[in-house]
């Protein structure tokens, strides 16, 4: 397994590197609960240097973009060769009302969809400003069955973009913008 440890360079035989990190599936006022999901990173926006979530930190959808932008700029790009590019993988999922363990999801799909649309706008803004970001590969479009790669509480991540009309509309807008080569 390859890692950024010790300032290692991305292997030269890789031309495109895909990177993902997901946020926004907890209520906007929730304290960041991702400490165990981010053990390799001291710059996660929800954590202080000791890896503890500071007072008032949130898991707002936009934090996904803020974290990944910082990670790309400070960790990935310095480790990449000049001819290598990045594809980002925005989270475009929501949660079933009840998860695999029959626990209630903390946010409605409508609320999550609104955050995803905001997040997709932020990802596009970043992609336009960073020439090494050459694509977006949203995860995931289709619905998944409960238990199919499911996460536990507080979100099973099984509701795909197809179940959220506003997210599908935004993805289509982004696709048209990319295909046309101009801002819409």
17-31, 50-64, 137-151, 166-180, range with greatest mean pLDDT: 166-180
Better-scored residue on pLDDT, 97 or 19: 19
Which tokens in the block code for residue 2? Answer: 């390859």
| Low-confidence winner among 19-23, 50-54, 77-81, 118-122 (lowest mean pLDDT) | 50-54
Give CA–CA dist 97/78, Å, rounded.
42
Can you give the pLDDT at residue 64?
80
| Confidence (pTM) | 0.75
User: What count of residues does the chain have?
Assistant: 184
Q: How far is CA 108 from CA 9, 118, 119, in A?
A: 42, 16, 17
pLDDT value at position 117? 93
- What is the four-CA torsion angle of 159, 161, 166, 172, rounded to 10 degrees? 180
Q: How many CB atoms lie within 10 A of CB 48?
A: 12
Is residue 72 helix, strand or coil?
A: helix
Residue 174 pLDDT exceeds 80: yes
Q: Tens digits of per-residue pLDDT, 57-88? A: 445 666 788 888 888 998 899 999 999 999 99
Looking at the predicted structure, is the pLDDT value of residue 21 above 60? yes
The arithmetic mean of pLDDT across residues 40-52, rounded, is: 41
Other CB atoms closer than 10 Å to residue 73's CB: what's the count? Answer: 13
């Amino acid at each position: 397994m390859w890692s950024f440890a010790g300032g290692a360079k991305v292997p030269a035989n890789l031309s495109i590197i895909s990177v993902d990190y997901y946020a926004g599936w907890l209520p906007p006022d929730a304290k960041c609960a991702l400490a165990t999901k981010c053990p390799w990173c001291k710059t996660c926006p929800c954590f202080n240097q000791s890896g503890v979530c500071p007072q008032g930190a949130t898991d707002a959808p936009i934090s996904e973009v803020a974290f990944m932008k910082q990670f790309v700029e400070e960790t990935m790009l310095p480790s990449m060769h000049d001819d290598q590019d990045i594809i980002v993988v925005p989270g475009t999922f929501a949660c079933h009302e009840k998860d695999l363990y029959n626990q209630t999801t903390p946010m409605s799909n409508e609320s999550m969809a609104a955050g995803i649309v905001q997040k997709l706008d932020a990802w596009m803004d970043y992609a336009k400003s960073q020439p090494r970001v050459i694509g977006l590969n949203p995860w995931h479009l289709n619905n998944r069955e409960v238990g199919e790669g499911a996460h536990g509480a507080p979100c099973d991540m099984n509701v795909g973009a197809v179940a959220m009309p506003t997210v599908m509309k935004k993805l289509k807008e982004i696709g048209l913008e990319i295909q046309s080569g101009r801002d819409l």
